[in-house]
Amino acid sequence: MPRFITRLALLPFFLTSLYSCAQPLNKKEYFTRQDTLRGSIGPGRDWWDVTHYNLSVSIDYGKKEIRGSNQISFNVLKGGKDKLLQLDLQTPMQVDSILFGPQLKTKAAFKREGAVCWVTFGEKEFNPDQPGAKNQESILVYFHGKPHEATNPPWDGGWIWEKDEKGRPWMTVACQGLGASVWYPCKDHQGDEPDLGATVSIRVPGSFTAVGNGRMTEKKSNPDGSNTWTWQVKNPINNYNIVPYIGQYVHWEDLYMGENGKPLSLDYWVLDYDLEKSKKQFGRDVKRMLEAFEYWFGPYPFYEDGYKLVESPHLGMEHQSAIAYGNQFRDGYLGMDLSGSGWGRKWDYIIVHESGHEWFANNITTKDIADMWVHEGFTMYSEVLFTEYYYGKKAADEYLQGIRTQISNDIPLIGKYGVNKEGSGDMYNKGASLLHTIRQVIHNDSLFREILRGLNQEFRHQTVDSKEVEDYFSKKSGKDLSGIFEQYLRSTDIPVLEYKTEGNKLHYRWSHCQAGFDMPLLLEGKTEYWLYPRTDWQEVLLPEGTGIKDLNPNFYISLGKLP
C-alpha cells in the first residue's frame, strides 16, 4: 500500500501538512468480539481451508449497488457433523441464500452476527480430504447490497464510485485492512488464501470495460446489452487483492524476457485519453523495475498470471497481477521525492513500490495483519534497492537516510495478534531502516542478496509470520539477529550508543535498549574497525585516526556523548 504523505506545498490537496504513513485500520486501543472473529482462526474457520473462489458480480453505478454470487471451494481439515462455518460479509451487504451439497441445491441455514454469518448444514457429515484430493466441498453464496463507500481510498477504503475527467463512471475497490468482506462473502482472514486462485466474472453495461486479476478468459455479450468479463488467477491470492476495475479503458501490451527463461506478459489498461502518457511512463519504468527486482528478489512470482498495471481513481494498491496505478504519470510520489535526497524523483513511485509488493505481500503474505511490517518494510526497502541498482550504493544510502527522518517511533511495528490490528505506520520507513541496519551487520552484500532471493523461494506463495522471516535471516546469515529484530520490531526505543573519549581510548555501551542487546557497529576510518558494544561499559584503544566520527551512518541508532 502507498504511504499517506502530505507536505506544506500540497495543502490544497490534503488536510494536513504533517507526514504520516498509511494506516489501513484505525488506531484502536480496545477490541471487540467482532475484531476477534475477524482476526483469529476460531472454531468456525479452523476446520476448512479455501481452495478457490468463483465470484460473479453485477454492478449498478446509479444505485451504487452490487449483486452476485461466490462459489467457495474448500478442503475439509477436521471432519464431523454439526459443523458451524464462519462466513464473512460486512454490513450493509446482505446474504440472500447459501447452497451446498450435490449440484449445490441444498439450502444451508445461517444466522447473522454483525459482519459474520454463522452457517449450519443440518445432518451433513464432512470428511477430511484424502491425500491429494482437491475441492472436496463447496458452498454457493448469493448476496447483494450497497457496499461501504471509500472516503479516502486507499487509506480509508471500500468501494470507489468515481467519474473520470470526461464525467464517465469509473469504479473499483480498495479494501486492505478493512477486508474483502466489505463487498463479497469470503473467509476474510489473511492466513487463508485460495490455493488454486480465483475466477471473477464482472457484468457491466456494454460501453464499459471490466478488468480483473490474472488473465481474461472470456468476454460474453448478454441479451440486455451488457457484457460479462471473466478473469482468472491461477496462483494463491489474498482476498483483499481480488478487485474489479470498471471504466472506459483501452489496452496495450508488451513482453519482458525475465529470469524464468520465458516471456512475461505485460498488460496495461488505462483510460482512453491517457494512452500516450501511459506508453511513455510505463514503457520507461516497468521493465527496469522488473530487471532490478528479479536481480534482488528472484523471478517475478506470477508468470502464469502475468503482470498488469490498471489506471485507478486512487493513488495505488498492490492488487496481485493487476496493480492499481493512480500516480498521474508523474515521477516520484505525485511529483514529490519522499526522501528529500533527490533520488526519489528519478522514477515513478507507484510503479516501483506497488510492484515490489508482488514479492513481499503477494508472494510472501503474513498470516496476521499484526506482522504487516513484512509487507511494507521489505517493499519500502525495495525502493532503496531499485535506487542502488541504477544509481549506486551512495544514492541508495542517501535515499534510505532521507526516509529515516520521518520515523515517529510511536508504537511497535508489530501489532496485536488475533484481532486484525496492524502495528505502527513506521512499518514503512523503520522497517526499511531495520533491514538496512541488518545488512550492515551481515556485511556481505552478496549474502544479503541471497537471503532476499531465498526468502522468495523458501516461502513462495505461502503465508508466514514475522518470526519465520526473522529466523530465516539468522539461519542464512550465520549470525544471531534475534536481538536486533526484537529491539526494532517490538520496542519503540532506538538504541543509543553512549560513549566518552580519552585520546584514542573509547568508553562505550548500549542504552535505551532491551537487556542483552549487543549489535556490533562498524567504524569506517582509514581501515574498517568493528565495535562490539554491550549494555555494560566497554573500552578499547582505537587505531590512530579512527573515531566515532567514522561510524557507518546506515546503522539506525542514536549517539549519546558523555562528558
Q: What integer pLDDT is reported at residue 39 of this predicted model? A: 97
457, 548: one domain: no
407, 470: one domain: yes
76 lies in some domain:
no
For the chain, what percent of residues have pLDDT higher than 70?
A: 94
Structural domain total, the chain: 2
| Extended beta strands in 447-504, E state | 462-464, 496-502
507 lies in some domain:
yes
* Integer angstrom CA distances of residue 371 from 179, 365, 413: 16, 9, 8
What is the edge-to-edge ordering of all strands in the sheet holding 316-317?
249-257, 263-271, 307-311, 323-325, 316-317
pTM of the model: 0.95
The boundaries of the domain holding residue 511 are 496-561
For 462-476, what is the mean pLDDT? Answer: 98
Phi and psi (nearest 5°) for 458?
-60, -40
Task: Please compute, for residue 432, the number of CA atoms within 13 A of its CA located in the half-sphere on the CB side.
Answer: 26
381, 480: one domain: yes
453, 500: one domain: no
**For residue 449, what is the domain's CATH number?**
1.10.390.10
486, 502: one domain: no
357, 463: one domain: yes
311 lies in some domain:
no
- Within 8 A by CB and 6+ apart from 276, the residues are none
* Integer angstrom CA distances of residue 501 from 34, 40, 447, 498, 533: 57, 52, 35, 11, 15
116 lies in some domain:
no
377, 483: one domain: yes
For 241-247, what is the mean pLDDT? Answer: 98
Q: What integer pLDDT is reported at residue 132 of this predicted model? A: 61
44 lies in some domain:
no
From 445, 474, 490, the end of a domain falls on 490
Question: ω into residue 92 within 30 of 0, thus cis?
Answer: yes
Q: What integer pLDDT is reported at residue 11 of this predicted model? A: 29
C-alpha to C-alpha distance for 513 and 497, rounded to whole angstroms: 10
C-alpha to C-alpha distance for 521 and 544, rounded to whole angstroms: 18
HEC string of 176-199? CCCCHHHCCCECCCCCCCCCCCEE
From 490, 512, 541, the end of a domain falls on 490
Confidence of residue 4 (pLDDT cuts 50, 70, 90): low
429 lies in some domain:
yes
474, 524: one domain: no
Burial of 253 (0-12, 13-18, 19+ CB in 10 A): exposed
538, 441: one domain: no
Beta-strand relationship, 558-561 and 538-541: unpaired
Secondary structure letter of residue 338 according to DSSP? T
Q: What integer pLDDT is reported at residue 1 of this predicted model? A: 87
Residue 200 confidence (pLDDT) above 70: yes
502, 379: one domain: no
Residue 16 confidence (pLDDT) above 70: no
